[in-house]
Structure 1
Amino acid sequence: MSAAADDADPAVGLAGSDLYLNPWSTTLEAAQALAGQARADAQLLGSIPSADWFTTGTPAEVEEAVDDVVTAAAVQGRMPVLVAYNLPFRDCAQYSAGGALDTAAYQAWIDGLVAGIGGRPATVILEPDGLGIIPHYVTLDGVAEWCQPAEIPAETAAADRYTQLNYAVDALGALPSASVYLDGTGASWLNVGEISDRLLKGGVQRADGFFLNASNYQFTANSTAFGTWISQCIAYVTEVSPGDFGSCGNQYWNGGPANNWTGVAMSQYGEWSADAADPALNTAGVDSRYESILGGVEPTTRFVIDTSRNGLGPWQFPADTYPVHEDWCNPPDRGLGVRPDTTTDVPLVDAYLWIKVPGESDGKCYRGTGGPLDPARGIEDPAAGQWFAEQARELVALADPGVAPLDCHVGWDVEADASGFAAKVRTSAAGNLAFFFAGDQAVRKATRGEFTQDGAAVTATAAERPGNAPDALLHVVGEPDQPWIFWLDGRACTSD
């Protein structure tokens, strides 16, 4: 039965919700093929909620895949974050090429995703780069952008992109408990007026807001300022001076009343603030511009920020070293940022999310060379979306704020029997052990310890045992699959 047939839960928004952690995430899947430090890093990253990406498949396939995640989240009363990434000609056929064949195929795919959510709470990050990279697009300043594929009619490509996004916004917006956020690019990309215009054309006023810094490295402070200016610009051009995007202050010239209109281009290589001594980091001029043009009008368009890899900010690449620096593509020596949080207490910011799954590659980065090596790293990077153990190690080691390693361990040894298997469970300390089965496995009894099971969720006691005896011995009916993540007294653990 489709999720849409389920009874609808009360409407729940992203802000203030408890985020869902998928125990069968791509991060934990990657850990299964790793060993040693690389496995521990993947298990650590898999213990922190990241978004689940949906990038392909038929409408029926995406419905089933989304339903699996949303159902599991609903059982726990938690908020899943889903990334819809299947626009026709996404990423302009670059590192993350792919997507639906045309508008009709995309709309059918969105219908499948919508059916998979049904009446349950879910947050949808709608099409990263979907508004940043539009085929055959001409900016407000009359500049034809670089993405000009011959396969798409130039006269209809931009209009088709807006048709696709507006359809998705309306289809998701019709659900009782879903939230949807549109691509707001990032603080080092489009200027405020340009992305505000695209957001309005994409339907942001019917959405829950926009997202920033997806798969990028910009400082959270800079994204906060940039997002606030976008929200102020939207308020200005819709309520004060319709269509006057040119008066929206932006990051490429920060003059305004507060600095006597002595502006400079803002730098991405430091954290912005209203009292920064460096003029290239100071937001006071732009802040004061919006204060003067808005009057008493308050901005209301909200946003979320991807903090998955921005702890140290962007890579300040060496000058005159690579033909193309590609600072967005697996830059070296970056760190995890602020942990996912839906209680930011920052005006207009609904959440800090890990939209990009940290540890997954941005693509095979050649930086203008012939490859196959990434010249900044001296190795061949994995394809986009594949696990990148070396980068995962950097993100963990250089995290800001720092992240502690997992401090408990679980051993899981299986012996098949007539009805299923016996799991000998050893833990690094006594306590209550929690995990999820992947299928319909059922614990029949516990020879050592006690257990409870509710659907796929199992809790077992792990008591200290003398000698080499297992802490718990579970007799299970079903296939002998090992859970991908364990919690001991609420703490995530590494496992063999």
Structure 2
Amino acid sequence: MTSTSPRKRRLALGAAAVFACSLALPLSATGAAAAEPGLAGSDLFVNPFSTTLEAAQSLSGQARDDAQLLGSIPSAEWFTKGTPAEVEAAARAYVDAAAAAGQMPVLVAYNLPFRDCAQYSAGGALDTAAYTAWIDGLAAGIGDRPATVILEPDGLGIIPWYTTINGDEEWCKPAEADPATAAAARFEQLNHAVDALGALAATSVYLDGTHSGWLGVGDISDRLIKAGVERATGFFLNASNYVETERLIKYGTWISDCINLSVNSWWEPQWCASQYYPANPGDFSTWALTDAAFAQAYADTGVTRDPAAQAHFVLDTSRNGQGPWAGPVAPYPGAPAGADPEVWCNPPDRGLGALPTTETGNPLIDAYLWIKVPGESDGKCFRGTAGPLDPERGMEDPAAGQWFVEQARELIQFAQPPLAPLDCNVSWNAANAGKGSLVKLHIDGAATGPWTLSFVLPTDATVTKATHATVVQDGRKVSVTSSGSKRGNAPDVVLTTKGAADQPWIFWLDGRACTSA
């Protein structure tokens, strides 16, 4: 049994991936390096030139510290536009960097035609041919290196001119799309993407599984099957949303079970129990009723649960530490009765959730990921008013995908589990010296005894000399190790470089990230 939630979640546009440096630091996020291809057990990639660290370059004080803290934690990289050749080049540079670091890159492919039903994150390829060519470019850029692809957030939650498993017409009806072919085209596009990316030697592919406040289990399971989930690694949940992890685990498990039952027996997806029945979606204590319904379905069909063979899933925990926002009790002044308060759009006082990890302790869950880049705006939220201010915040929100200083602070302040600030700081003072630079490094927070400071130079420069330290450089990757046993900030280290030594965007002191002025 299924039901469709009246709550529609729309996804804010992430920035297109731009990665100028083909080398990255050997940074450890969580888990050990993977012994074989696959996301589970992999070490997640931290991009030393991410959009988060890019935002930090124009900030100061607490806002800069916040962006640097968030930028020190693995987040996905969004690929949202470009020609096939452009996305191929961008993906190759990004995956090259992750491969050089021995880490797993997480790429978000977000370029379907009629993306987000032409709303806040409108855009995407013009048609099926353009999209399949773009996907082929993305696949060519990834090649045979390990990679994880989050395939089209909202791609199955919002389908143009779609009739659900229950016979209901979906709300997304763009005038530019052909009502007779738009839904079928969406499944054609996703199936091509699954096959093109899944054919790669070491790429894991996850399709859109929405979240437990949205589609019923049978409805999304049916859509996943039509999109080729049996040939993919599995599905992802909660991208850019706020649903609690405990609910997502139940929901994802039921989807995996529903798919398993439906493809291996006479069972039909529309018969699957869900968060809407027999459970009560508002009372989590009743969700055991749906557990029991699935146990009965397995008994009736004779199918056996097999976590190794079933569809796996990943969860976006980038903003779900405090769960969803309930919204206002009454419409905002100037908004009509019944106006949408847009609870999904830059809600106040939300917090980061679990840190990204591929060690989940659950055989069906390959990772907790930060798919949505925390700190980037969902868009300009008017909540039923004429705008331009967000009436909940009393300010004009940044455009979708732009850095939101106030929200970044809230996510850190209300993080659950709590997130400690970075406890070291690096000052980088460079002066031109002929055809190179003299850089004075001042480090606060180094432990007593020898230390190693690692960073990636933004431009091609060579460190030719260091005082009070030794230097190892590999391309743009540099490691500076102190001499003797004195603390790192007494004396300072002076580097001599050939070529202008622009300041790195992030520093790592003995493996832990540091702020920088």
Common topology (TM > 0.5): yes
Does structure 2 retain, via aligned residues, the 8 Å contact 1:10–1:177?
no
The Cα of 1:165 is off from its aligned counterpart by: 0.6
For structure 1, the 5+ residue unaligned runs are 1-8, 256-262, 268-278
Question: What is residue 59 of structure 1 aligned with on the other side?
Answer: 84
1:364 to 380, 394, 397: 380
The Cα of 1:472 is off from its aligned counterpart by: 1.2
1:221-260: CA deviation from partner (whole Å, max 9, x where unpaired): 0000000010111111111224x2221001112x2xxxxx
1:349 to 365, 370, 385: 365
The 2-side partners of 1:224 and 1:284 are apart by 13
Residues 426 and 142 from structure 1, CA distance in 2 versus in 1: closer, same or farther, beyond 3 angstroms?
same
The Cα of 1:281 is off from its aligned counterpart by: 3.5
The Cα of 1:352 is off from its aligned counterpart by: 0.2
Identity %, equivalent residues = 61
Between 1:411-420 and 1:201-210, the stretch displaced more is: 411-420
Question: What is residue 479 of structure 1 aligned with on the other side?
Answer: 500
1:123-165: CA deviation from partner (whole Å, max 9, x where unpaired): 0000000000111111111111111010111111011111111
Residues 157 and 418 from structure 1, CA distance in 2 versus in 1: closer, same or farther, beyond 3 angstroms?
same
The Cα of 1:368 is off from its aligned counterpart by: 1.2
The 2-side partners of 1:149 and 1:470 are apart by 65
Counting only pairs closer than 5 Å after superposition, residues 15-94 of structure 1 correspond to structure 2 as: 15-94=40-119
Asked whether 1:439 is paired with 2:449, we answer no
For CA contacts below 8 A with separation 6 or more, give which structure has more relative contact order: 2
Between 1:35-44 and 1:471-480, the stretch displaced more is: 471-480
Asked whether 1:154 is paired with 2:179, we answer yes
Residues 346 and 411 from structure 1, CA distance in 2 versus in 1: closer, same or farther, beyond 3 angstroms?
same
The 2-side partners of 1:186 and 1:381 are apart by 25
The Cα of 1:437 is off from its aligned counterpart by: 1.4
1:281 to 246, 263, 285: 285
The Cα of 1:89 is off from its aligned counterpart by: 1.2
Give the letter for the 2:428 counterpart. Answer: W
Question: What is residue 457 of structure 1 aligned with on the other side?
Answer: 477
SS, match of residue 236 in structure 2: strand
Counting only pairs closer than 5 Å after superposition, residues 44-443 of structure 1 correspond to structure 2 as: 44-242=69-267, 244-253=268-277, 255=278, 263=279, 265-267=280-282, 279-295=283-299, 296-298=303-305, 300-322=310-332, 323-430=339-446, 431-443=451-463
The 2-side partners of 1:132 and 1:325 are apart by 20
Between 1:452-461 and 1:383-392, the stretch displaced more is: 452-461
Give the letter for the 2:413 counterpart. Answer: A
The Cα of 1:376 is off from its aligned counterpart by: 1.2
The 2-side partners of 1:12 and 1:406 are apart by 32
The Cα of 1:479 is off from its aligned counterpart by: 3.2
Give the letter for the 2:269 counterpart. Answer: F
Residues 172 and 10 from structure 1, CA distance in 2 versus in 1: closer, same or farther, beyond 3 angstroms?
farther
Give the letter for the 1:411 counterpart. Answer: S
Give the letter for the 2:298 counterpart. Answer: L
The Cα of 1:280 is off from its aligned counterpart by: 4.6
The 2-side partners of 1:157 and 1:57 are apart by 23
The 2-side partners of 1:441 and 1:347 are apart by 46
SS, match of residue 450 in structure 1: strand
1:34-58: CA deviation from partner (whole Å, max 9, x where unpaired): 0111000000000100001111111
1:435-473: CA deviation from partner (whole Å, max 9, x where unpaired): 011232221121342111122211102468899986211
For structure 2, the 5+ residue unaligned runs are 1-33, 333-338
Does structure 1 retain, via aligned residues, the 8 Å contact 2:317–2:353?
yes
Residues 219 and 432 from structure 1, CA distance in 2 versus in 1: closer, same or farther, beyond 3 angstroms?
same
Between 1:321-330 and 1:115-124, the stretch displaced more is: 321-330
Does structure 2 retain, via aligned residues, the 8 Å contact 1:28–1:43?
yes
The Cα of 1:112 is off from its aligned counterpart by: 1.1
Residues 145 and 477 from structure 1, CA distance in 2 versus in 1: closer, same or farther, beyond 3 angstroms?
same
Between 1:354-363 and 1:476-485, the stretch displaced more is: 476-485
The Cα of 1:492 is off from its aligned counterpart by: 0.5
1:170-190: CA deviation from partner (whole Å, max 9, x where unpaired): 000110001110000001001
Does structure 2 retain, via aligned residues, the 8 Å contact 1:11–1:121?
no
Give the letter for the 2:281 counterpart. Answer: M
Does structure 2 retain, via aligned residues, the 8 Å contact 1:432–1:488?
yes
Q: Which runs of 4+ in 1 moved over 4 A?
A: 462-470
How many pairs are equivalent?
A: 467
The Cα of 1:347 is off from its aligned counterpart by: 3.0
The 2-side partners of 1:314 and 1:46 are apart by 24
Q: What CA RMSD, in Å, does the superposition of the two structures yield over aligned residues? A: 1.8
The 1-side partners of 2:117 and 2:465 are apart by 55
Does structure 2 retain, via aligned residues, the 8 Å contact 1:126–1:181?
yes
Does structure 2 retain, via aligned residues, the 8 Å contact 1:126–1:180?
yes
The 1-side partners of 2:427 and 2:399 are apart by 32
Does structure 1 retain, via aligned residues, the 8 Å contact 2:397–2:404?
yes
Give the letter for the 1:64 counterpart. Answer: A
Does structure 1 retain, via aligned residues, the 8 Å contact 2:423–2:445?
no
Does structure 1 retain, via aligned residues, the 8 Å contact 2:234–2:313?
yes
The 2-side partners of 1:467 and 1:136 are apart by 62
The 2-side partners of 1:318 and 1:466 are apart by 53
The 2-side partners of 1:210 and 1:396 are apart by 27
